[in-house]
Structure 1
Amino acid sequence: MSNDQENIQLLKDIAAGSRQAFDIFYEKYISFVYQIAFSIVHNHAEAEDICHDVFLEVYQKARQYSEEKGSIKAWLAVKTKSRSLDRLRKNKPLLIHRLENLSGSKKMEPGADLQFLHSLEKHLIVEALKAIPIEQREAIIRSYYNGETHNEIAMTMKKPLGSVKSLIRYGLNNLRKQKALMQWVGIDRGEKK
């Protein structure tokens, strides 16, 4: 029996109520699910909670997996991404942290699923950046993406240092108002409902 067939059989056994099959399935995929969750929320405790939610759903709804719709990894990746985005929407706004984490200082693990999530995140921020004034956008890109210091930005843009700091501050405030990013971090801006 191939590895894929073994994993599909594990899901069938889980659907039939097998705790042993669930434990085996969990051990096979926990690091994969955790890696995706952490790449989105950048918080160990939150990523662990998301893993719990994903595997609880697998245990309760193992019959939902359909081989025709894709691999087990893709099925788990979609569930994990969905739970992670829900968690971000419900929690505090993470815009500034998202920008800092995308600045290139952290390298993503290779893998199509993680590259897709990273690409989606970047796309949302790029779309929001397009909607703010050009000088604010340039200052933010130079600071967060190019890693330039405020002094370097001031020299390049031929602006006083205080003006550059203001451009970045106002630019970040304007980014918070962008619809695409509000959908990413949640419309409640982190306020408890």
Structure 2
Amino acid sequence: MDGDREQAAEWLREAGGGSLHAFEALYGAYAEFVLRIALKMTGSRQDAEDLCHEVFLEVWRQAASYDAARGSVEAWLAVKTRTRCLDFLRRRQRQEARRQQLSARFEPAAAGVEEEALSSISFAQLREALERIPTAQRQAVYGAYVEELSHSELARKMNRPLGTVKSFVRYGLKHLRRQLEGGGWKSGPEGGRMP
């Protein structure tokens, strides 16, 4: 058992130095372990597989930060996996709450067809306006306001510096507003409404 722990720590040290072979060995030895934790926490095989992939990407980037004096490789991986899973579950909960809010907002009132048409037009216009802003800005705005990712999470997801992502969000909102106003929306205290 101690030999296995020493071997795992050695793989991490070598992976931290850039050894793909050591990383692959570590992955082969611990992917199932990480997957089991993620599956238990999420209840979804697909989500668990995605999280396992994310954990090992993080391990590849942070292998050199492992400190054997602070615990075993298994404990280090378990903490990383649990943290990723908790972030994922919180994000999923926020997204579901946001979806419910949007659904309630765009759900037609019992009054009828006219309100239903207005709500679908406004949603269609929003989608079209998003399509007309630059791709990076669209991804940043969508990530920040629909997926409800923090700017730091967006920076990791987009593989861009934090300041760049903040600029994408700021300019994306500015361009989105221009597109909406050009489509007949007027600014109001609620942010935007049909005239």
What range describes the TM-score normalised by the shorter chain of this pair? 0.3 to 0.5
- Structure having greater relative contact order (Cα 8 Å, sep ≥ 6): 1
What TM-score results when the alignment is normalised by the length of structure 1?
Answer: 0.47
What TM-score results when the alignment is normalised by the length of structure 2?
Answer: 0.47
